[in-house]
Amino acid sequence: MAHLLKDLPELVAQNVISPQTATDIEKYYATRKHPETNTMLTIFSAFGGILVGLGIILIFAHNWDNFSKGVKTALAIVPLIIFQVLAGYTIVKNKSSMWKEAAATLVFCMVGASISLVAQVYNISGDFPAFLRTWILLTLPLVYLLNSNAVTVLIICFSTWYAAEAGYFTDNRPYMYLAFMAALLPFYFKYLQKDANSRMAFILNWLMPLSALIAFGAFLNGAGEFGFVLYMAFICLLYNLGLLPYFSSLKHRQTGYLFLGELGIITILLISSFRWVWTEITEHSAPAAPFIITWVVLLLLNAALMFGYKSTRFSINLKWATLVFPLLYFIAVANIPLATIIANLVVLGFGVMTISIGINKLEFRTLNFGLLILAVLTTCRFFDTNISFVIRGLLFLVVGIGFFVANYIVIKKKKDTLNTHQHEN
């Protein structure tokens, strides 16, 4: 930004922009500057709140023997009340967001601290997911009451932690995670509608899908290998959500939905190019009814998103994976080798398509992304022992040479177009 402002006189002098435009640009940045410094202050006050909170927790964790049970209990609860009063004060006086963020994070930390310190006094081992659940439940209202971004981020992280603790490697399903996320949705939607380009919207657009991706597995206990099929549908759902018009004004990497979706779809495609994956998935008995229902619901949601909205267009679109994954599954149920071959062809086709788009649009990134996919696919085949060394060697040679040739073509094409432009001028 500073760079641009410095260049303004030069741009005016060279008649690139009018003096009026220059003043407009200056004015625009002058008005924008204020909220930005404000955000920084808010971020620092939230961090300050977290650090002070952690400091208090650590000091009390020392657990002085000379204090009686009563004193220790009071020490555990009094800081909470002090910070609650502070938070109440910021509401009554309608203090700036900086104050509210600091107060909200302090109360957030103290709620957890007071419960754990009481647990320390009474030697309560407790069950950790239940502790996290209580903590989140008691602090969720702070998001709305103090309009706190920091507590929102903390609650997403803690909910994910809770889901992982409660759901992975146990027979339980962390249903409360769904409730926590649902409770945050209005706050999230408000940002998407009003302030889609803000930092907080960016953070939420990444944290939400990332959290969902981690927590989804916590619900899959008992699904066995069918969980892989469910993850396929879920990742496509994230991707299709990323294609919604809400996000169309944002750049490709500004939403985790598209990025994680893309990465996930390609990873899963590559995994599904192994034959043993399909053997594992199909050799067990049919999955339990709730998982099939979940799968159908996910597919229907995907379909609704795909056909209900006109999606944003990108040069590489992976929408088709939504249909390919269930298709591959059904084929695998009937014929595993066929499904493996098709999965390989799909990856191969996608890689080649990406390369050709890269060459046509003269985009090095797209081109090399396509080449990378082919390289990984080749590497994957390296581990299939039933392909002869000669064929594997040839495959590597082809991909390796492809890297050079394709990049060379793009460089040459770019030079040619640049030359024609110059000639035309």
Partner 1 sequence: MKTKYIIIAFVVTALLQAFAPLKLVYDSEMTARYGTVYKFKTQPIDPSDPFRGKYVSLNFEEDHYETNEAGWTTGEDIYAVIGKDSMGYATITKVVKAEPAPGNNYIKVKTGMYYDGVLHIDLPFDQFYMEEGKAQEAEDGYREYSLEDNAKPAYATVAVKDGAAVVTDVFVDGLPIREYVLRERKH
Q: Where along the sequence are the contacts to partner 1 (CB under 8 A)?
A: 57, 60-65, 73, 76-77, 80-81, 84, 87-88, 91-92, 94, 107, 111-127, 134, 138-139, 141-142, 145-146, 170-172
Q: Name the minimum Å distance from CB 86 to partner 1.
A: 11
Helix pair angle (336-361, 321-334), 10° resolution: 160
Q: Name the minimum Å distance from CB 367 to partner 1.
A: 47
DSSP class of residue 248? T
284, 373, 379: which is closest to 321 by C-alpha?
Answer: 373
Rounded Cα distance between 114 and 102, Å, is 18
DSSP class of residue 18? -
Rounded Cα distance between 287 and 230, Å, is 11
Rounded Cα distance between 256 and 22, Å, is 35
Residues 354, 361 contacting (CB under 8 angstroms): no
Helix (H) or strand (E) holding 275: helix 275-283
Contacts for 91 with CB less than 8 Å, ≥ 6 apart: 100, 145, 146
Q: Name the minimum Å distance from CB 139 to partner 1.
A: 7
Q: Which is nearer to partner 1, 60 or 278 (CB)?
A: 60
Q: Name the minimum Å distance from CB 227 to partner 1.
A: 19
Q: Name the minimum Å distance from CB 57 to partner 1.
A: 6
Q: Name the minimum Å distance from CB 127 to partner 1.
A: 8
Q: Which is nearer to partner 1, 60 or 239 (CB)?
A: 60
Q: Which is nearer to partner 1, 138 or 362 (CB)?
A: 138
Largest CA distance in the chain: 89
The 10 Å Cβ neighbour count of residue 179 is 15
Q: Which is nearer to partner 1, 59 or 289 (CB)?
A: 59
179, 178, 203: which is closest to 192 by C-alpha?
Answer: 203
Rounded Cα distance between 239 and 213, Å, is 12
Q: Which is nearer to partner 1, 56 or 269 (CB)?
A: 56
The 10 Å Cβ neighbour count of residue 70 is 9
One-letter amino acid at 303 equals A
Q: Name the minimum Å distance from CB 63 to partner 1.
A: 5
Q: Which is nearer to partner 1, 161 or 247 (CB)?
A: 161
Q: Which is nearer to partner 1, 46 or 111 (CB)?
A: 111
Q: Which is nearer to partner 1, 89 or 408 (CB)?
A: 89
Q: Name the minimum Å distance from CB 180 to partner 1.
A: 15
Residue whose entry in the numeric block shows the structure tokens 């027979």:
171
Q: Which is nearer to partner 1, 60 or 234 (CB)?
A: 60
Q: Name the minimum Å distance from CB 141 to partner 1.
A: 4
Burial of 101 (0-12, 13-18, 19+ CB in 10 A): buried
